[in-house]
Structure 1
């Protein structure tokens, strides 16, 4: 095997390892995003319930932003 072929094989091996590492990172981030999405939904439901329990208040979702 010549040096150029060996260099190419080493580069491919490094790229495959980097790809596997990145794949692991993306999978972990996807799981974290799923957990955070569920938590945000739960918090939104809780806050909506609190707003509904307060008489005379306008739910946050129905309020216009201050710049309007």
Structure 2
């Protein structure tokens, strides 16, 4: 009987841990998506700023010469 109780406690603890980790992963996914959108906006803004300053197309948007 003691073994059964111990196993049930372990299962309950592991279940809670899995649920907490799932919540953390979901939150990080949302934060990562937001960070990626912000980065894309900043990259677009900087590329636009370089073009407005009379520069050429940013190198990141050009194919390397060997292509």
Shared fold, TM over 0.5: yes
Taking only aligned residues, the RMSD between alpha carbons, in angstroms, comes to 1.4
Query: Where does residue 52 of structure 2 map in the other structure?
Result: 53
Structure 2 spans left out of the alignment, 5+ residues: none
Structure 1 spans left out of the alignment, 5+ residues: none
Per the TM alignment, residue 56 of structure 1 is displaced from its structure 2 partner at its CA by 4.1
Residue 32 (structure 2) pairs with residue 29 (structure 1): no
Q: Are 2:47 and 2:58, in contact at CA under 8 Å, matched by a contact in 1?
A: yes
TM-score relative to the length of structure 1 = 0.81
Query: Where does residue 14 of structure 2 map in the other structure?
Result: 15
TM-score relative to the length of structure 2 = 0.83
Q: SS at 1:7's partner residue? A: helix
Runs of 4+ in 1 over 4 A off after TM superposition: none
State how far apart, in whole Å, the 1-side matches of 2:29 and 2:45 are. 24
